[in-house]
Amino acid sequence: MPFAPLLLAVLGEIAAVAPFRNMLTPGGQRMSVAMTNCGAVGWVTDRKGYRYERLDPETGRPWPPLPDGLIELAQRAAVEAGFPAFRPDVCLINRYEPGARMSLHQDRDERDLSAPIVSVSLGLGATFLFGGLKRSDRPYRLPLSHGDVLVWGGEKRLAYHGVAPVADGCHESVGRMRINLTLRHAL
Ligand code: MD3
Ligand code: FE
């Protein structure tokens, strides 16, 4: 994967400023996925709810800037998928250790839901669960592996989705984890 080494270097710099943390859901459950952000705002959750915040609640400081290379990668993917106007302003970074999962949810905290979301997967593979517009719609299972770049937009933007528990393993360049970056237009 040509862009993986650069991405991993950038991730190390981001995590040094805004460390990965397991956030609390509004219901009080600790998430198994560890998260951080870069960009003008960052996605957070705690007892008060889900939202985007300008300051990292862990450090009280702004999130690290969104690297230009990441913006370009996401814009190139979005153009290919038919979203030439996509202007990402935030990247949510998810880290899955073996056993971590993400239950079915919708992404609806972004202001303009006509903007797509670009996701980049690194490290261990995972099964992505791709449901419908109702939580009860039975999800498709889609394997995701290192280097996959996907663009989620249009009528599927509000589809329920999640990630099945990540199986144990060790990826040769990323190690014992899966990293997923989602580039979004949140503001
Ligand atoms: C389909 N992350 O951060 S990324 C999330 O692999 C999230 O970490 C997953 O769901 C992960 O919110 C999946 C791909 C993705 C992101 C947003 C979507 C797929 C989507 C929004 C609508 C439909
Ligand atoms: Fe999501």
Domain chopping of the chain, boundaries: 4-184
| Distance, CA of 16 to CA of 72 (rounded, Å) | 23
Q: Does domain 4-184 have CATH number 2.30.29.30?
A: no
The 10s digit of each residue's pLDDT in 10-69 is 999 999 999 999 999 999 999 999 999 999 999 999 999 999 999 999 999 999 999 999
Across-strand partners of 49? 46
Please report the pLDDT score of residue 134 as a whole number.
97
CB of 95 shorter than 6 A to ligand 1? no
Over the Cα atoms of the chain, what is R_g?
15
Atom of ligand 1 nearest to the CA of 33: 8
Is the model's pLDDT at 3 over the cut of 90? Answer: no
Is the model's pLDDT at 1 over the cut of 90? Answer: no
86, 117, 133: residue to mutate for ligand 1 pocket, most atoms within 8 A of CB: 117
Helix residue ranges, H only, the chain: 4-17, 68-80
Q: Which residues contact 18 (CB under 8 A, 6 or more apart)?
A: 36, 37, 38, 42, 56, 58, 59, 61, 63, 64
Q: Kindly report the protein residue whose alpha carbon is nearest to atom 14 of ligand 1.
A: 119
| Distance, CA of 120 to CA of 147 (rounded, Å) | 7
Q: How many Å lie between the centroid of ligand 1 and the Cα of residue 103?
A: 11
Q: Is 125 exposed, middle or buried (0-12, 13-18, 19+ CB in 10 A)?
A: middle
Q: How many Å lie between the centroid of ligand 1 and the Cα of residue 162?
A: 7
Residue 185 in contact with residue 107, Cβ under 8 Å?
A: no
